[in-house]
Amino acid sequence: MIRRFLSKNKAVLGYGLSLAVLLFILKWLELRFVIYDHAMELYVGAIALMFTLLGIWLARKLTRPQKETIIVEKTVYPDSSLGFVPDETEIAHLGISKRELEVLELMAQGLSNEEIGNRLFVSLNTIKTHSSRIFEKLDVSRRTQAVEKAKRLRLIP
Amino acid sequence: MIRRFLSKNKAVLGYGLSLAVLLFILKWLELRFVIYDHAMELYVGAIALMFTLLGIWLARKLTRPQKETIIVEKTVYPDSSLGFVPDETEIAHLGISKRELEVLELMAQGLSNEEIGNRLFVSLNTIKTHSSRIFEKLDVSRRTQAVEKAKRLRLIP
DNA sequence: CGATGGGTCATACTTTAGTATGATTTTACG
DNA sequence: CGTAAAATCATACTAAAGTATGACCCATCG
Residues A22, A57 within the same domain: yes
CB A143 within 7 Å, strand D: no
Give the CB-side neighbour count of residue B60, counting CA atoms within 13 A.
12
CA distance B27 to chain A (A): 10
Name the least confident of A81-85, A106-110, A111-115. Answer: A81-85
Residues A144, A93 within the same domain: yes
The amino acid sitting at A56 is: I
The partner residue sitting opposite B148, judged by closest CB among A71, A72, A108, is A108
User: Is pLDDT at A9 greater than 60 in this prediction?
Assistant: no
The partner residue sitting opposite A147, judged by closest CB among B55, B76, B144, is B144
Name the domain boundary from A44, A62, A80: A62
SS (H, E, C) chain A: CHHHHHHHCHHHHHHHHHHHHHHHHHHHHHHHHCCCHHHHHHHHHHHHHHHHHHHHHHHHHHCCCCEEEEEEEEEECCCCCCCCCCCHHHHHHHCCCHHHHHHHHHHHCCCCHHHHHHHHCCCHHHHHHHHHHHHHHHCCCCHHHHHHHHHHCCCCC
Name the domain boundary from A46, A62, A78: A62
User: Is pLDDT at B15 greater than 80 in this prediction?
Assistant: no
> Is the CB of A156 inside 8 Å of chain B's CB atoms?
no
Residues A53, A94 within the same domain: no
Q: Looking at the domain assignment, is residue A83 inside a domain?
A: no
The amino acid sitting at A152 is: R
Distance B147 CA to C8 C1' (A): 24
Name the domain boundary from B62, B79, B104: B62
Q: Looking at the domain assignment, is residue B130 inside a domain?
A: yes
> Is the CB of A66 inside 8 Å of chain B's CB atoms?
yes
User: Would you tell me which residues 25-64 of chain A have a C-beta closer than 8 angstroms to some C-beta of chain B?
Assistant: 26, 30, 40, 44, 47-60, 63
CB B143 within 7 Å, strand D: yes
B99-155 tens-digit pLDDT? 999 999 999 999 999 999 999 999 999 999 999 999 999 999 999 999 999 999 999
Residues A7, A55 within the same domain: yes
Residues A94, A137 within the same domain: yes
**Residue A123's pLDDT is what?**
96
- The interaxial angle of helices A143-152 and B98-108, nearest 10 deg, is 70
Query: For the residues A8-13, what does the mean pLDDT come to?
Result: 52
The domain in which residue A14 lies consists of: 2-62
Residues A147, A95 within the same domain: yes
Q: Looking at the domain assignment, is residue B44 inside a domain?
A: yes
Whole-number Å distance between alpha carbons of A148 and B138: 19
CB A130 within 7 Å, strand D: yes
Residues A94, A147 within the same domain: yes
Q: Looking at the domain assignment, is residue A110 inside a domain?
A: yes
Residues A93, A148 within the same domain: yes
Q: Looking at the domain assignment, is residue B135 inside a domain?
A: yes
Q: Looking at the domain assignment, is residue B48 inside a domain?
A: yes
Residues B48, B95 within the same domain: no
Residues B113, B148 within the same domain: yes
Looking at the 3D structure of chain B, how many domains does it have? 2
Q: Looking at the domain assignment, is residue A26 inside a domain?
A: yes
> What is the pLDDT confidence band of residue A26, given thresholds at 50, 70 and 90?
low
CATH number for the domain spanning B139: value is 1.10.10.10
Q: Looking at the domain assignment, is residue B120 inside a domain?
A: yes
A93-130 burial, b at 16+ Cβ within 10 Å, e below that, comes to ebebeeebbebbbbbbebbbbebbbeeeeeeeebbeeb
Partners of residue A73 in chain B, C-beta under 8 Å: 72, 74
**Residue A53's pLDDT is what?**
76
Residues A54, A97 within the same domain: no
> Is the CB of B104 inside 8 Å of chain A's CB atoms?
no
**Residue B48's pLDDT is what?**
73
User: Is pLDDT at B60 greater than 50 in this prediction?
Assistant: yes
Q: Which residue is nearest to nucleotide D6 (CA to C1')?
A: A97
Distance A105 CA to C14 C1' (A): 27
String of DSSP letters for chain B: -HHHHHHHTHHHHHHHHHHHHHHHHHHHHHHHHSSSGGGHHHHHHHHHHHHHHHHHHHHHHHSPPEEEEEEEEEE----TTTS----HHHHHHHT--HHHHHHHHHHHTT--HHHHHHHHTS-HHHHHHHHHHHHHHHT-SSHHHHHHHHHHTTS--
CA distance B141 to chain A (A): 9
Residues B58, B17 within the same domain: yes
* A94 contacts B134 by C-beta, under 8 angstroms: no
